Amino acid sequence: MDTAKLFPQHNTMLDPSKRRVLSFGEGPDAFSELQITDTLCPISRGYIQLNGPDSRKFLQGQVTCDMQTVTDQQVIRGAHCTPKGRIIFLFSALCDSHDNILLETHSSVIPQAIANLKKYAVFFKTEISDLSASLTTFLISGPSSAKSIATLCHQSLPQPGMHVEEADIRLRCIAENHYSVTCKSEDSARAIAEHPGLTLCGEAYADLITLRSGFADVTEDTLDKFIPQMLNLDRQAFISFQKGCYTGQEIIARAHYRGAVKRRLRHIQCPLDELPKPGETLADCKGKGIGSVASAAWSSPRQAELLVVISDGVESLNGLQINAQTGIDAETRVLPYPPLAQR
């Protein structure tokens, strides 16, 4: 449904696509205070359902994660790639009580994601459908968020990487004190929107939360641009190196075992006048391209944080160029997941 209609009493600011509520009046100057607050952010997500007896078998031969580990409680994350190992879309996968598989992904890639899945599904008994219009999702986070949402379901709250399902909502724990709630009806979405004890904010703040987790989603602007290791997906449990073959597996496995990844995701912060879009080129002080932007978010007025895919040999981050913005001095921030294990 149109998320903005859930908040008629608020002044909503939409992004150019009209798909995302960026703000309810709060700006980056409020983001530092929001970090110590329990917040509710409506987020625009896409949902692809696969149902039929071959759904799991079909996906097992297509995606980077082991689909045999998906249960009605366990959520796993993965990628669907081209034969050249380039990511088409990233997803979180779960199954319902009827063993239907649901893939949550970035809303902008839904048409391409479904088209690519259907291209390979012709010999399998599976039906692929877009459920995005019927589901509404919120991101809930903050130091006391678990206590704030304990009344949403009659079961124990899920642990990280798990989900629970009620009659009208699905509650997923992304990380400690970091949850997503997916509503199956307009009534349940309105109930979540009016949930007490949570500070309402827009998706611009949710972008910052997600970026700081070290995760850069693939959008319509970065589709077919990165292999999984460039986005550090091997450090975030998106890839199983023990499962059998899947589309793009040869390229991804070669990069893993031969250490052939020359560009990796880094978290940087820098002063900017304009927030860059995913896919925009990052250049050094001489104008030489050294990488590209994977995601970006404001952290305070005129201060941004970016996840950028940069060549391994780049050490200096002074005098960078991003499109028309030049002379950018950036600082590196530590990513929140463990370093690569020694092979």
**149 in a structural domain:** yes
Render pLDDT for 109-122 as a digit per residue (tens, 0 to 9): 999 999 999 999 99
> Do residue 229 and residue 269 come from a single domain?
no
Domain that holds residue 180: 1-260
Range 144-167 average pLDDT: 89
pLDDT tier, 7 (very low <50, low <70, confident <90, very high otherwise): confident
**95-99, 109-113, 309-313, 323-327 — most confident range:** 109-113
**CB neighbour list of residue 204: distance below 8 Å, 6 or more residues apart:** 22, 23, 28, 297, 298
CB 149 within 8 A of CB 69: no
- Of 219, 217, 15, the C-alpha closest to 112 is 219
Range 251-279 average pLDDT: 93
State the Cα–Cα distance between residues 246 and 193, nearest whole angstrom. 40
**343 in a structural domain:** no
Q: Which of 260, 275, 308 is a domain's end point?
A: 260
**CB neighbour list of residue 111: distance below 8 Å, 6 or more residues apart:** none
Q: Could you tell me how many residues make up the chain?
A: 343
> Do residue 184 and residue 295 come from a single domain?
no
Q: Which of 234, 260, 286 is a domain's end point?
A: 260
